[in-house]
Amino acid sequence: MSKHHQLIVIGGGTAGIMVASQILKSNPNINIGLIEPADTHYYQPAWTLVGANTYDFDKTARSMSSIIPDGVNWIKESADKFDPENNKLTTSNGNEYTYDYLVVCPGLRMAPELVEGLTEAMEKGVVCSNYTDPKHTWETLKNFKGGTALFSMPTTPIKCGGAPQKIMYLADEHFEKAEIRNKTDIVFAIPGGVIFAVKPVAKTLMKVIDKKDINIRFFHKLVKVDADKKIAWYELAKDLDAGGCVVMSDDDSKTLDKEIQYNYKDVKVAKDGDRFGIYFDMMHLAPPQASPKFVANSPLATPEGWLFVDDKTMQHKKYNNVFGLGDVAQLPTAKTGAAIRKQAPVVVANILKMMENNTITNKTYDGYSSCPLVTGYGKMVLAEFDYSKEFKPDPKLKQFPLMINDSSQEHWRLWILKKYLLPYLYWNKMMKGINV
């Protein structure tokens, strides 16, 4: 026997809670079922700070029951199969639920298995990740005694594209304090050719990189982590033959051309066929990330496995009564809570309008996202942009007395925003369905 809800929301993260709260605020009579197996809801943006010992991990957690709005029916199960033709879904317990409208926002999953050896390495001593265990990151930084500190990111989409470098800037300052910076080389190996896609922000970050004397290695695609030998293996992902400019011999890594190196440091390297290894004494990385399997294998997904929604209306491209937002959606912008803050009201307005007369509103999402880029203890840059990848500060944030004229520059007030104001707004406004 299947149970019926007017609206089913999949996911009790930022997106799911915001949508459910905002809809109930507009119409408390709508019957909402929220599918979420987890007991705990985390404020993940603070995990960067936890990893650098400047935020308490326990303060990032609240019980799911305290976050799900009163009046929402919590279905404490995992979604498993979709049958959108019949407005039906099945959970992994085998229970069937039918709906009039469906919102899919389960977030994404960590997929360390996409890099050889990473699943095993993630559990070992000096390989750490704020994405999975920020407390372990802090232990790793604390125990580091010098050598090569390697920071890396994958080729997949990830939550908050800036996070892999924020912890690096904080680590640099921690190493200074611990008086080991002078015997440390910091290397940032990334798959792309720029440090950040938004130009004014990239300009500021390159100044930070200069000041902190960090070696960036561009076009490095992480393919394997050997935790025992402490080597991270990369393929050079740029079309290196095209210009014929990169030559790599076994003994001479200095022939890495300038285009793929910045602030060259002579760290210990290895060569294996066309793979290039970097020896590390500690490594922090964002693991590869992917869409949850139950979405990727469903009729709702794109060929890449992400949720197939219109990037302006958030409505599914094939099924009109299905909407999606947050990290699972295939949208050409950064996967952040700030993006969800702008997506949720569009989804809510469109669902309410659909319930009224089966059409959607003219409200659209412009791709706004923001990445608070922590550049040191007490310093931050706020990268705000939309689908155009141009720098686009949100006028709403300008209302706060804290804000400054140019958030693409480092400022202590932006740190205050990150550490104190944003968590407050998150728990007390966003989670309660209040538009901020």
Q: How far apart are CA 326 and CA 94, in angstroms?
A: 26
CA 37 to chain centroid, in Å, comes to 21
Q: How far apart are CA 374 and CA 49, in angstroms?
A: 9
How buried is residue 58: exposed, middle or buried, by Cβ count under 10 Å (0-12/13-18/19+)?
exposed
Q: Give the active site residue among 105, 128, 160, 245.
A: 160
Q: CA 388 → CA 123, 270, 339, 383, 426, distances in Å?
A: 39, 39, 14, 13, 26
User: Helix, strand or coil for residue 140?
Assistant: helix
Task: Give the tokens for residue 22.
Answer: 């905002």
Q: CA 333 → CA 11, 317, 337, 368, 426, distances in Å?
A: 20, 18, 12, 7, 21
Task: Give the tokens for residue 205.
Answer: 């970050």
Active-site annotation holds for 160: yes
Which helix H or strand E contains 65, and what residues bound it? Answer: helix 64-67
C-alpha dihedral, 157 to 21 to 12 to 301, nearest 10°? -50
Active-site annotation holds for 371: yes
Selection from 162, 145, 192, 175 nearest residue 53 by Cα: 175
Q: How far apart are CA 163 and CA 85, in angstroms?
A: 39
User: Helix, strand or coil for residue 180?
Assistant: coil
Q: Give the active site residue among 105, 128, 245, 371.
A: 371
Q: Could you give the residue numbers annotated as active site?
A: 160, 371
